[in-house]
Structure 1
């Protein structure tokens, strides 16, 4: 593994899974008590921070100190910002329609166990899998090189798209005059999902931090999975179905605006 201590990495991977499960179980306890399972979205970013923090502690003496600190800080900045944003956005709101629909498929007496398995348990596994590049990068004994700094730059682009896109949307929604309207200015003029595009860039960037050793390339599954979930899974398709049924101008916005990659708006067809 080009200098990576296999036994130490495997121990860290197991501990990282335990950290993700612990955070999601704590979120489940809150969700079961309040009846609002949207808390899992707040726990999402925190779970990544827990996995990275666990790996950072266990990689001491194995990975390069500079690379370890870089990987940890990138995950903490991304995860804490995302969790804080989702918590602030969801305060005082009812259950997320996605989870309400999911849980409505099973009898009331089975919903709590179903949520534990299909909402919290599933997300704990996804967090661990998506975080593989970070867990590997923490054990790379080399100082950050060209690939790592390229990944850091890509991470910064992604964080900018996420943070600016979320800010623009929050300000748009806060204005009562925009009720029922579609945000099509700022970053939202060039992509219907600047925050999802930014999220994908973040994880492709973090993947590059692990690619200075051959085993790091095996973590390619991480950015591929995250991008798939954002574009074809629980991200873009579910949100667009909801917006298409609630905002009259959304079909026209879809016709002229790129679905993921930032591109100039398309001209309307005659």
Structure 2
């Protein structure tokens, strides 16, 4: 079993946490200027890029495997920058997200202080927990093995579903003829949430890159949390609740897989 530089990892974790605090502090300041806390959605992807970059720097010279460090950095940065760019472009109108408006309407006192606790602190902690495979992989000392390359392939599949799914939905929404209708084309014929499935697959892939060398396998709860959140908590359930009254959506649910891509049910398939 390869040695793991645990002390260096702990120190790197502290620097990564500091990086997240700085990023979220800047995001909170920007939210005050723009008068909307939904800017944190853009910071979500950027947070993982910061964590990966900081950990990449702090793990240098720790005896870790450089090939794995570069692989995990490239995969994490590509995913995080793409996601941040897409969300930032999608939110360019500057309106507050209804999810945050509903949450902040329950604030017992200052909305900003409530937002710091409920939104920024929560997301910061989740970022650090979900990113544990990335952080551990940066310090892993064993050479890249077959499991890491399987993880890279799963990451690529997830990145494809997330990127293409987002592009297809954006194109659908930009066509006035589709207003009030249900997106049931492209990847959306096979899963009601190709973007969420893709996101979950990306983190499974990153976990496998980490699990290729000890003690990466111990970070399994991080992708499990991401998968559960996307499929059962804030991803799929909230989206489907919001769309449940749209004409044709009930039929779409009956015809189309809820998460994992599967062929539409025969005889009642979505439109091509």
Deviation of 1:236 after TM superposition, in Å, equals 0.9
1:65-101 Cα deviation digits (max 9, x unpaired): 1111111010000000000000101111421111111
TM-score normalised by L of structure 2:
0.95
Counterpart-to-counterpart distance in 2, 1:79 and 1:155: 13
1:85-130 Cα deviation digits (max 9, x unpaired): 00101111421111111111125x5211011111111001101100
Deviation of 1:146 after TM superposition, in Å, equals 0.3
Aligned match of 1:100 = 101
Q: Map of 1:1-270 to 2, 5 A cutoff? A: 2-62=2-62, 63-107=64-108, 109-245=109-245, 247-267=246-266
Call closer, same or farther: CA 1:213–1:144 in 2, change over 3 Å. closer
Uncovered stretches (5+) of structure 1, i.e. residues with no partner: none
1:204-261 Cα deviation digits (max 9, x unpaired): 000011113332111001100000110111111111111113x211111111111100
More moved, 187-196 vs 60-69: 60-69
Contact 2:197–2:259 under 8 Å retained in 1: yes
Contact 1:192–1:260 under 8 Å retained in 2: yes
- Output the aligned Cα RMSD: 1.3
Counterpart-to-counterpart distance in 2, 1:147 and 1:34: 44
1:30-83 Cα deviation digits (max 9, x unpaired): 112322111010000000000000100000012111111111010000000000
Deviation of 1:268 after TM superposition, in Å, equals 6.1
Counterpart-to-counterpart distance in 1, 2:38 and 2:190: 29
Counterpart-to-counterpart distance in 1, 2:20 and 2:193: 27
Contact 1:256–1:268 under 8 Å retained in 2: no
Counterpart-to-counterpart distance in 2, 1:89 and 1:259: 24
Contact 1:148–1:209 under 8 Å retained in 2: yes
Counterpart-to-counterpart distance in 2, 1:237 and 1:268: 26
Q: Number of paired residues?
A: 267
